[in-house]
């Protein structure tokens, strides 16, 4: 029913929900400035958070770890006030999952994972080289003569067999 019936005013649609919605210019598609700070206090101010000393929230909603003695009593390490923004989003802005997403943060995540993988490859290569060096130094069969003791022992030979496993040395007496 895009056009009105002949008996009504035919110049415009009769029902409000059939009209074309125009976006309100008051709405914005911007997003919060994450982590922005506005003022750094020198000492504790009355009415501030007892834990960190910021004026923008109270101790109950403080996101810092609970201190043993808060900023109210120590008057030290006062946290800066956070920037509080209020704005209304339009229909799409409220439902946009990626609104405010910064692609450069993902690039930092990728760099961190690549550095971790590179360190892992380097470590595994060192372990392989270390394993080769240990296998060259292994002494599998070492024969030693046992000395006759006063407690009465035989003069046979004792064979020590060494097996080396990384970080673990096992000795078996045969």
Q: What is the pTM of this model?
A: 0.41
- Count of CB atoms situated within 10 Å of the CB of 58: 13
Residue 145 pLDDT more than 60? no
How confident is the model over 2-24, as a mean pLDDT? 60
Q: How confident is the model at residue 174 (pLDDT cuts 50, 70, 90)?
A: very low
Domain ranges, ordered by start, for the chain: 27-101, 102-132
Q: Tell me the three-class secondary structure of the chain, residue by residue.
A: CCCCCCCCCCCCCCCHHHCCCCCCCCCECCCCCCCCEEECCCCCCCCCCCCCCCCCCCHHHCCCCCCCCCHHHHCCCCCCEECCCCCCECHHHHHCCCCCCCHHHHHHHHHHHHHHHHHHHHHHHHHHHHHHHHHHHCCCCEEEECCCCCCCCCCCEEEEEEEEECCEEEEEEC
How confident is the model over 44-69, as a mean pLDDT? 93
Please report the pLDDT score of residue 97 as a whole number.
85
Q: Counting every residue, how long is the chain?
A: 174
Give strand pairing partners of 23: none
Least confident of 93-97, 139-143, 146-150: 139-143
List, for residues 103-143, the tens digit of each pLDDT value. Answer: 888 899 999 999 999 999 999 999 988 887 766 666 555 55
Please report the pLDDT score of residue 96 as a whole number.
83
């Amino acid at each position: 029913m895009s056009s009105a019936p002949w008996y009504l005013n035919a110049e415009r649609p009769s029902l409000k929900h059939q009209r074309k919605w125009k976006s309100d210019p008051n709405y914005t598609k911007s997003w919060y400035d994450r982590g922005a700070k506005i003022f750094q206090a020198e000492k504790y101010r009355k009415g501030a958070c007892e834990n960190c000393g910021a004026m923008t929230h109270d101790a109950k909603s403080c996101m810092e770890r609970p201190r043993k003695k808060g900023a109210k009593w120590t008057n030290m390490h006062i946290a800066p006030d956070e920037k509080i923004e209020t704005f209304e989003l339009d229909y799409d802005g409220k439902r946009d999952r990626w609104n405010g997403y910064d692609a450069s943060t993902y690039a930092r995540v990728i760099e961190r994972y690549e550095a971790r993988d590179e360190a892992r490859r380097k470590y595994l290569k060192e372990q392989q080289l270390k394993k080769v060096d240990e296998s060259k130094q292994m002494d599998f069969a070492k024969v030693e003569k046992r000395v006759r003791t006063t407690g009465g022992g035989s003069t046979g030979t004792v064979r020590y067999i060494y097996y080396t496993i990384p970080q673990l040395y096992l000795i078996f007496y045969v």
